[in-house]
Amino acid sequence: MVVITEEVIIWTATWCAPCKGLKTWTDIHYPFVVYKDIEKDVAPFEIKSVPTMQIGQVFIPNVSTIKQHLSKRGSDLNRN
């Protein structure tokens, strides 16, 4: 098994309703996920919409795609 050690970040915004539901889900299933706000933190240029998950230089937009990725790869991700 390959363990991905990069920080798992989900970029969000306070006004983003889908982000709130995603945060509730990740807090339960993937508590190692870090949330950053595009209006408070310096977001990478690659962030075109929220929510977007960032693992290293890989960017995964949209709630359903993020959930699919975490469900398939969650056990490979760093839980520190």
Q: What is the pLDDT along the chain (80 residues), one digit of tens a residue?
A: 445 568 899 999 999 999 999 999 999 999 999 999 999 999 999 999 999 999 999 999 999 999 999 988 766 765 55
Q: Can you tell me the distance from the alpha carbon of 34 to that of 77, in angstroms, rounded to the nearest whole number?
A: 12
- Model pLDDT, residue 73: 78
Give the chain's domains with CATH numbers: 8-76 (3.40.30.10)
- pLDDT value at residue 16: 97
| Alpha carbon distance 68, 18 (integer Å) | 15
Which pTM value belongs to this model? 0.86
